[in-house]
Structure 1
Amino acid sequence: MLRQERTMDGNQAAAHVAYAYSEIAAIYPITPSSPMAEYADEWALQGRKNIFGHPLSISEMQSEAGAAGAVHGALIAGTLAVTFTASQGLLLMLPNLYRIAGELLPGVFHIASRTIAAHALSIFGDHSDIYACRQTGAAIFAESSVQEVMDLSPAVHLSAIEGRLPFLNFFDGFRTSHELHKIKVWDYDTLNEMLDRKLVERFRENALHPRHGKMMGSAQNPDIFFQAREAANPFYDALPEIVERALAKINERLGTSYGLFDYYGAEDAVHVIIAMGSVCETIREYLDAFPEKKYGLICVHLYRPFSARHLLDAIPSSVEQISVLDRTKEPGSPGEPLYLDVLAALKEGGRENIALFSGRYGLSSKDTTPGQIAAVYENHTKKRFTLGITDDVTHLSLDIPSLPSTAPEDMISCKFWGLGGDGTVSATKNIVKIVGDHTPLKVQGYFEYDSKKSRGLTISHLRFGKSPIRSAYLVHQSDFTACCNPVYLHKYDMTSEIKEGGAFLINCPYKENELEQFLPDSVKGQLAAKHIRLFLIDAIGIGKEIGLNNKISTLLQAAFFGASGILPREQAIDFMKKAARKSYGSKGEKIIKMNDQAIERGFDQVQQITVPEGWKRFSNSPLRVDNPLLPDRPEVLSYVKNIQQPVTDQRGNSLPVSAFGPYADGSFPSGSSAHERRNVATEVPVWKPENCIQCNRCSFVCPHAVIRPAVMTAAEKAKAPQGMQSLPMTGMTDYSFSITISQTDCTGCGSCTGTCPGKQGQKALEMCPVHQHQETQQYFDYGKSLPEKRDAAEKFKTNTVKGSQFLRPLLEFSGACAGCGETPYVKLLTQLFGPKMYIANATGCTSIWGNSSPSTAYTVNQEGFGPAWSNSLFEDAAEFGYGMLLAKEVLSRYDQTDENLVQWVIGGDGWAYDIGFGGLDHILASGKNINILVLNTEVYSNTGGQASKATPTGSTAKFASGGKSTRKKNLAAMAMTYGNVYVAQTAMGADYSHTVKTICEAAAYPGPSLVIAYATCIAHGIRAGMGSSQQEEKKAVEAGYFHLFRYNPSLKEQGKNPFMLDSKEPVLDYETFLEGEIRYDVLKRQHPKQAQKLFAEASRQAKEQFQYLKKLEALMAPRTISGVVR
């Protein structure tokens, strides 16, 4: 059967099939499965029809538990329902999975499998979530590649309907879910043809309906429960053959030979690996490279029910040894799950003569290479082993032999080292799609990220070739490497991985005659010794000229095509322009024209440089000289030296198990981010003291705490580094005042310069190229080393903007996005309460920028005191914080805790308005003295910008691409109904003083407090850029889009009005504000009639809300009756 070829990832492949066979989808975002739901939402908006002739009905729920409940309800009522999830989300679905399986309902759960949080959270992939579902009664089916996801997902849907059982259809998170591949795609006519409609009718006839005269969901007693449970056995006994029949339909149409267990390798194999998931592709590549070896692979597809008979049939009679690979860890078990299943099958099947070995591999997406596969086949002594790590504690790891490349000879491998947010990943995805869709070459794209929200390291791994690509592992030897940030040349050993005669593209502002001075000696040496072709482009410079600034994805994409010659110029430019129009069409013609210009200039201005022969003299030069660490606590220095620095330098995979002995419980010392010094900014602020009014606003709004006031005594000023400027301190003449900037930690957002009032129209801060002001770092380091001047803070009052900034921030140099709207609030919290605060943090952006390995952004003061921070789960932050509070109360009985400790709970709107609302409500109702800060970005920021119940009417977001039609949840009003909860809304950029006052009042209130803080986010698409975050927050309040108020119940006891409306009448047109953010403007461009309707409704709601708040203020004003205030 001839099928269309398209370039897509595993998530899109699964969504393509799921959409066809489903009528209802109940969804909730979680990495890495969210794109499946996003694709389905977009297709439904476009009117795509499933095989039943209707668009899929999609509903976003408040949590995965809610999504599973909705799927259960949809199934029991007779519709085919689907959902998409992973990890913790799948665990929340377990109770419903038991019910759905017990009630013989054909639901399908598509899973991009992901690690379950244990000692730490991980968004990356393994099978721990899948294995946690083994006893639910759901069938479990695995795929090992993007093509298999497309080919085999129909078998899951067909088997669920015929077998009357739910299925978990899983593939590896990220490695398969996000891997781009050119694959052959099912058309919906063929999918429809394979479905037996009589089975669908049988399902509907058996559904719960008033006409069917039956009930479900009973409570049963010991006399019958057991028997009724056993009555389902025939369904499980029949399922393997049902799946086989579904696979036969697929094989008949595709000419394939898919089975429940697929054998690959030598017919007379003596050693076979049994595994499931993407590692099977790597094993197949290894077997193809060494066909003379008597090795084989059994790739598991149907894992539950586990058919021992089918497994035994797949094992060649010649086999003497089997090694089972499990991508999970079950502490305390005699073996991992797949191993135990195989062990039982061999025992019961009379194949006990086969030596059985068990290996653990790939936890949290740990790379599994052909060399590791060779180690498995060569291992005949370690019955239990681990792969890919060095275990020098329990000595389970296998030594990895050196191995020649197992990839096909025609394969071209590329590697792009990018900076998170610079567009490198977007550029490389477009490269893969252009080559895949417009040439006969096979393609693969895999994208490696660290956990920084932005400005972290990204590495894109691209492969092209005529032969099938089965390399489910990272590129380690490249034909083409691009360095998209010149700082990386001094940090990462990129050139050692480039093949002899390969190509190296550097994005930098330097000319050919400056390279001798600019390039590290080790890079020069390898370029010359390996005859590497060198190319340069100044993408940042060109981007500024065009108006794209640091959005250089199109330029890098064009430079690749210009340097690689993989496509002729005219073809490449034409394909790139079409791709750019598709990607940026919603952003307006101006953006499209700028990208068109970038494509032409990027292609034509990439320059090949002749590498001097004389550079060979540097071939033995080391890459880096480790800089001495800053003075710090011994435990921090030990951690930085032994863990953080190797991880930062891309050497984390080589760390042995023993290195983590002190950190086995997941704890790391606070404050290590100060040693990271990422050097990611191209421009940094420079202080001009002659224009400074010493207001400290720049420090107040800085998202990363890189700009701070330094207060110096005369003696301290005398010891200051030469060139450090200062002013006599206003109001405290014994001190000198200076503004210091850590240019090595700055992200270059410009929030400080936008906020600076300056003097007579002249700013006291100016953004300048970072390389022109290297000397400023020593001024910051000196200022930070000085004792905190609490007298200065108290002089200007700690509850003011100026005074608070003389207190040391205990959140610094986080991984948040440049211009982040969240971190300034939390940084302020740490300045006001840091040495005595507990923080229970919900999972989300705040937990990721707050504590992502390897650096810890929360720190301690000079006495060693700082926030006691931890994260439990997404859904239980309020309860988690409540538990901390209860512990504090109990421990106070033993004098083990300070009674002045303050409990804060921090999270985003996805947590507070949706998944964690039940717990939040319960804690607010408790009456306990607990403080809650909700950072309201109006979307699920961490998972990619999906709609939450805080998303306003008319806003576009993922899961609401046609504009949200429902009203924003009024969380503050709900909380105020209790009467004894302090409730406030604030927006820092609108009123700095209001924010400080609100937070201080909340902490002082002797009961539960809830502060909802409006926070800008990259998901908003602010047209003025994230450097204008504070100004955008001000506009939101001025337009009446967001309202400031405080409700303080303690004022009632004083005879005062407890409710204070702090917003004024709107002075900015509502729709003018909306037009400044792409999340609204895109709806106006793509669906103008819908936008007009929704914007008008949103404006009406905003005005209605303001009038409601005014009436509330009047209603709560104390009234005097007969001289008595009531």
Structure 2
Amino acid sequence: MIEKPRYPGMRVTANGNQLVSYHTETRVADAGVFYPITPSTEGGELYQQAFAEGHLNVFGMNTLAIEAEGEHAAQGGAIAHSVCGKRVVNYTSGQGVVYGVEQYYHAPGKCSTMVLEVAARALTKHALNVHCGHDDVYGALDTGWIIVFGKDAQQAADQALILRRVTELSLTPGMNVMDGFLTSHLERTFYKHEAELIREYLGAPEDIISCPTASQRELFGQTRRRVPKMLDLANPVLLGPVQNQEHYMQGVVARRNNFTEPILEFFEEAYEGFAKLTGRHYGLVTEYRTADAETVFVSLGSAAENIEAAVDYLRESRRAKVGSIHLNVFRPFPEAAVVKALAGKKHVIVLERTDEPMAGDNPMGRDVRTALHKASQGEAGLPTMTADQMPRLFAGVYGLGSRDFRPEHTIGAYEFATGSRARKDGTLASDGASFMVLGVDHPYEVIADETPSLLPEGSIAVRFHSVGGWGAITTGKNLGAIIGDLNDLLYQRDKIVDDFGNPKEIIHVSANPKYGSEKKGAPTAYFMVAAPERIRVNCDLRHVNVVLCCDPKAFTHTNPLDGMSEGGCLVWESEEEGERAWERLPIWARRQILEKKIRVFTLPGFQIARKATDRGDLQLRMQGNAFLGAFFAVSPLLQEFRITQEQFRQVVHKQYVKKFGRLGDAVVASNMEVMTQGFERVREIRIGELDAADRSTLRGRPLLPVVVEKAQENGCGSGCRSHARPEGQEERTPLTQIASFDALFRAGLGYNQPATPLASLGVMAAGSGDTASKYVARRETPLYIPENCTQCMECIAVCPDTALPNCSQDLDTILRTAITNYVTDSSERQKMLRLMPEIEQRTRDMMRAGLTKEPLPLQQIIQTVTNDVNGFSAEAKRQFFDVIEKVPLAYEKTNAIFATPEKRKSGEGGVFSIFVSDLCKGCAACVTACGEHRALRMVQETEDVNADHETGTAFLDLLPDTPQKYLGLYNDARPQDSKTATLRNMLMVRRNYDALVSGDGACAGCGEKSVLRAIAAVTEAYMRPLYHAKADRLRAKARDLERVGFEKLAALKARSQEEYDLFRQAVAHMLMGLGGEDDNDTKARITAHGPISDEDVVGAIAAVMRQEAFNHRDLQPIDGRLA
């Protein structure tokens, strides 16, 4: 055992944001001034939470938390507070960094010592991305701030202290950077700082210290306050003057020698002092196995850990002389340390999370190259380096927007640099190429054939598959925390200690979420590894032991078996067992299960959750607890560490008390019960035959018109529409075609999508959501109950997703549509159509009679009447009944559609229908709006329910639009003349209801989208008739012009030759493209063109009017949709 440091830290399981903010900055800073932006939002929230909880910092002082109105304001406020002698922190990322960049430049000149905590995020370029990139920080490299990077959350938390010590010595503000999501949201076990460490290492802001440099002594005297009060009422100064030519440059260049040059020396002292107190060593750069290395990687952030694992693999498997350095300090750039680490190496591979193709190299590559070149030129202050010690530099781009950075990418980069692998375009390093792309199908890509996991031996790798809003992320965090807490149990039992005599980490945990920007309702994944040693790989798991598939529909849209190890365990949400469960797996999945000998378990997680709570939202979130219990039942973790079930339950209970205790004992108990049931009720199924019945779509078979062979699959159900381009409209460019978008983004390529010209643009064809399906997101779906419907339109108005298309129709139209499109025998169809007036009249009579007594469902009436009418086959009758049974038809309480018109005139009453489309996200807003009418209720989306809804929307697409007579006092041709109370009736007109294309990634039940949909519908309803009327006027005017235009021109010419010439010139200028920069230039162009006749003038004006008419009435702006 080596000498124990005084402050080794206190073990805590947390993510990066929690460790840096709640466990560090809230205990150090006097104030937090911030504005939320992903993925730094949690940092500010945690600071606010600590403030709200009344926490004091370790110096016993109250803190202040301020959420400003934007990142720019937050940065300004933080700087202002810091120059008042306070320790201040801000949290930001991505666009927040560059939005506030204007504020950064002036802060060093005011001696601000604040710290900006950055969870680095990709900047919005061709598209928005909320995940990891370094271009946000790179955008602030020249602002004069100190910038440090942590390769994991422990280093980020430690450097929060180290950086603050340096900012307060150098009087220069700093940025403490960790990778967004990859570090900020990665759950591991770390060490929280002791309060006494913070007090001893940093000291209090008001301490009086000796000025550490001659420049500071010249400004402050021999001593100064540790955090200077630059704004001090007792000693007032002006901060931030205006300077002209004679003064400004002096201030800029004086910064270099007076303040910037001492910073690296302060860092070396700070790192050394921190290591003595804690036992954790850093330095300006962290070298890993570089002593004998010939090839060295250079990186920033979490990539370094991945690279270090790959370095070990290459050394062990190939005896490769390879190493890695991580730049802990990026500004000021530590040139001497970099030269010392890289001089004499053969190859240096600089990997960066940004790409600047307009520059000669990416930023870190430029800095490395500059440092080495200066050293080779004998630059003072740098290690001496001869020309033959200059390594060859390679540049690589990886991980943009958290693109997966995998072991095969690191190995591929090594192979390319050492000459054993070409890029995808066939170019070798020996051909003079030095740039590479990692992780993307690109001409410059390099990737190794080997795909090792690089996880520690004995690891248990777990992947969750779930849906946003179902609580899988929380479950994953709880799972990681519980495994972390098992270490306490193991220490109490076995008393195993580390080199410092502290309780040893027996089970190392690494857990991180993966989700896109769609949030609620979109597929999510969560990764967790439990291992006997530190886990350094931080990427999507392709070597998985256990898959917890909380999403019962996962096999319809992804491959939950991807990367599963032989003999691994799949736990899948299903209330079926045995053969029935096996039939739910697609053939391709069964083949993988058989080949890899995967054990398959089913768990009725939702059934367990339903028994625990009546609340649908809690059922979704509590289901994950059942899977948590199932994990411990099927994985060998408890057995390998000899942990009893009772001990395990005690640890889980402790975590649930911590997580849910504030909500009461009942909540803790219900979550424990769900977890226990998951542990006990997970069932292994017998592996069946490969060719067993396939019921894997989880969808029923809809009844479709005889003219349609089968329902469209893979996204759009049976309700998709594709309308041809109007005659006279030019062919769309590939960029604007849905087919081009689908070929790249919907071709099943997933992570293997190539880097094509379309991918490089922030452009996607409009209306792609029209062919989307939200089936994956729905656990429940609304069921329409026609006999309770009053046609109030409340549900239709509130639905954000245009998922309740509706209409009113003549009874004759419904019957005719059913017969014409669903009876297969043409002769039988004709027989039924001839008898249809009799069926319609008798049906109507029974409907009328029913209103005075107990009305019967319309389907029942139609069947009764049809059975009484002879003259066609039983098969035709069956086919007719099959579709009529599935079509929702309301008349009983829809007085405005049936009773009132029918009373006014027999035969005028119609039927009202609401259909549920595949765009529904299952938010239940419609059910809430329906209220006591109870015409809608949420039901489990079974195969039968799904088939009924698909049948209904297929039938709807055959119907004409709602006739004006059923729109009441809403006038579709002149909506401005309509009665206000009837405006909702416009939603029965399909073009109005479909005005906003849905199928988007907005959260289920999004209120903002309901507003947008309403605005779009009103705009369509009001403007379309006006546009069509204008088109008619324009076409009429064009015809009139062609009829009388020549006569009018002749009259104008006879009256005034000058006016005639001016008019003709104006037409040539404005409509024929012959205008010039002045009058003489225009006349010269017209002369060069040749004579312009009256026919040319009339034709030009008429052509413009006809084109405008086409634009107003016939233009198809969105590919495949009617205007």
Match of 2:943 in 1: 771
User: For residues 1023 and 1009 of structure 2, what CA distance do their matches in structure 1 show?
Assistant: 17
CA 1:388–1:702: 2 relative to 1, 3 Å:
same
- Assess if the C-alpha contact under 8 Å between 2:583 and 2:692 holds in 1: no
The more displaced of 196-205 and 135-144 is 196-205
Q: Which residue of 2 aligns with 1:209?
A: 232
- TM superposition shift of 1:584: 2.4
1:324 aligned counterpart, secondary structure = strand
Q: Distance in 1 between matches of 2:280 and 2:473?
A: 34
- Alignment equivalent of 1:387, drawn from 406, 415, 438: 438
Q: Tell me by how many angstroms 1:703 deviates.
A: 2.8
* 1:539 positional shift: 1.0
Structure 2 equivalent of residue 808 of structure 1: 993
Q: Give 1:410's aligned residue.
A: 458
Structure 1 residues 627, 23: CA separation in 2 closer, same or farther (over 3 Å shift)? closer
**Equivalence map 1:484-495=2 (5 Å):** 484-495=550-561
Q: How does 1:935-954 map to 2 (within 5 A)?
A: none
CA distance in 2, matches of 1:652, 1:131: 29
- The structural deviation recorded for 1:17 is 2.4
Partner SS state of residue 719, structure 1: helix
Q: How does 1:346-361 map to 2 (within 5 A)?
A: 346-350=372-376, 353-361=390-398
| Alignment of 1:818 onto 2:1004 | yes
CA contact under 8 A between 1:435 and 1:441: conserved in structure 2? yes
- Name which of 719, 722, 725 aligns with 2:817: 719
Q: 1:361 to 1:611 in 2, by over 3 A?
A: same
- Partners of 1:766 and 1:38 in 2: CA distance: 35
The answer as to 2:150 corresponding to 1:173 is: no
Q: 1:52 aligns with which of 43, 59, 63?
A: 59
**Pairing partner for 1:645 from 730, 746, 749:** 746
Residue 312 of structure 1 and its aligned partner are, at CA, apart by 0.4
Asked if structure 2 preserves the Cα contact closer than 8 Å seen for 1:424 and 1:556, the reply is no
Where do 1:748-759 residues align within 5 Å?
748-756=922-930
Aligned residue in 2 for 1:279: 303
- Given that 1:419 and 1:456 are in contact with CA atoms closer than 8 Å, whether structure 2 keeps it comes out as yes
Aligned residue for 1:297? 324
| Amino acid corresponding to residue 320 of structure 1 in structure 2 | K
**How far did residue 404 of structure 1 move?**
2.9
Write the mapping of 1:427-826 to structure 2, written as runs, cut at 5 A: 427-439=475-487, 440-547=506-613, 548-551=618-621, 552-567=623-638, 568-612=644-688, 614-615=689-690, 627=714, 630-632=720-722, 637-639=738-740, 641-646=742-747, 651-658=749-756, 660=758, 664-712=761-809, 714-715=812-813, 718-720=816-818, 722=883, 723-727=886-890, 729-730=897-898, 737-742=911-916, 744-756=918-930, 763=935, 765=937, 767-773=939-945, 774-784=947-957, 788-789=961-962, 791=964, 795-796=969-970, 800=982, 802-806=984-988, 807-809=992-994, 810-826=996-1012
Deviations 1:208-259 (A, max 9, x none): 2122243221111110110122111121111011111111112223334311
Q: Among residues 352, 362, 369, which one is paired with 1:326 in the alignment?
A: 352
Please give the secondary structure, in 1, of the residue aligned with 2:261: helix
The answer (yes or no) to whether the contact 1:259–1:301 under 8 Å persists in 2 is: yes
Q: Deviations over 1:118-149 (max 9, x none)?
A: 22211111001000001111111111112221
1:435 offset after TM fit, Å? 0.2
Shift, 1:676, TM fit: 3.2
Structure 1 residue 113, shift from structure 2 partner: 0.6
Q: Which deviates the most, 567-576 or 173-182? A: 567-576
Shift in Å, 1:712: 4.2
Q: CA deviation at 1:11?
A: 0.9
* Residues 639-688 of structure 1: per-residue CA shift (max 9 Å, x gap): 45323424xx5x43211112625x71434322425323433222222222
In the superposition, relative to structure 1, how do residues 678 and 128 fare at CA in structure 2: closer, same or farther (>3 Å)? farther
- 2:926/2:936 contact within 8 Å kept: no
Relative contact order higher in (CA < 8 Å, ≥ 6 apart):
2
Shift of 1:301: 1.2
Q: Give the stretch that moved more between structures: 467-476 or 326-335.
A: 326-335
- Give the CA deviation at 1:715: 4.6
Shift of 1:457: 0.7
Amino acid at match of 2:816: A
Aligned-partner residue type, residue 19 of structure 1: T
The Cα offsets for residues 959-981 of structure 1, whole Å up to 9 and x where unpaired, read as xxxxxxxxxxxxxxxxxxxxxxx
Contact kept in structure 1, 2:542 and 2:562, CA below 8 Å:
no
The 3-state SS of whatever aligns with 1:274 is strand
CA distance in 1, matches of 2:111, 2:715: 64
Aligned-pair identity in percent equals 23
Shift of residue 508 of structure 1?
1.3
Residue 139 (1) aligns with residue 150 (2):
no
Verify the 8 A CA contact 2:550 2:624 in the aligned structure 1. no
Structure 2 residue identity aligned to 1:389: V
TM-score scaled by length of structure 2: 0.70
CA–CA distance in structure 1, aligned partners of residues 743 and 547 of structure 2: 29
The C-alpha deviation readout for 1:880-914, integer Å capped at 9, x for no partner, is: xxxxxxxxxxxxx9999xxxxxxxxxxxxxxxxxx
Contact 1:711 1:735 in 2 (8 A): no
Q: Tell me the distance in 2 between the aligned counterparts of 1:70 and 1:348.
A: 40
Confirm or deny: 8 A CA contact 1:640 1:675 kept in the other structure: no
Q: Which residue of 1 aligns with 2:1099?
A: none
**Equivalent residue for 2:268?**
244
Helix, strand or coil for the counterpart of 2:105?
helix
2:122 match: 115
**Equivalent residue, structure 2, for 1:1073:** none
Is the Cα–Cα contact under 8 Å of residues 574 and 581 in structure 2 kept in the other structure?
A: no
Aligned to 1:828: 1014
Distance 1:470 1:152 in 2: 19
CA change 1:767–1:833 in 2 (3 A) is same
TM-score by structure 1 length? 0.70
> 1:218 aligned to 2:245?
no
Residues 468-513 of structure 1: CA distance to partner in whole angstroms, max 9, x if unpaired?
A: 1001211111000011111112321122421101111011121224
Residue 576 of structure 1, CA deviation: 2.2
Matched to 2:779, the amino acid is T
| Larger of the two Rg values belongs to structure | 2
How far apart in 2 are the matches of 1:633 and 1:244? 69
Q: How much is the aligned-residue C-alpha RMSD, in angstroms?
A: 3.1
Q: How far, CA to CA, are the matches of 2:691 and 2:371 in structure 1?
A: 60
- Cα distance in structure 2, aligned partners of 1:136 and 1:397: 33
Matched residue of 1:744: which SS?
A: coil
Query: Compared with structure 1, are the counterparts of its residues 599 and 155 closer, same or farther at alpha carbon in structure 2 (3 Å cutoff)?
Result: same
Q: Identify if the C-alpha distance between structure 1 residues 768 and 255 changes in structure 2 by more than 3 Å, giving closer, same or farther.
A: closer
Q: Is contact 2:738-2:765 (8 Å) kept?
A: no
- Mapped to 2, the partners of 1:783 and 1:684 lie a distance apart of 18
Distance 1:895 1:122, change over 3 A: farther
Partner AA of 2:986 in structure 1: S
Aligned-partner residue type, residue 387 of structure 1: L
Which residue does 1:363 correspond to in 2?
400
Query: Are 1:424 and 1:553, in contact at CA under 8 Å, matched by a contact in 2?
Result: yes
> In the alignment, is the contact (CA less than 8 A) between 2:412 and 2:446 conserved in 1?
yes
Higher strand share: 1
For 2:986 and 2:647, the matched residues in 1 are separated by 58
Aligned amino acid, residue 351 of structure 2: L
For 1:157 and 1:705, how far apart are their aligned partners in 2?
A: 53
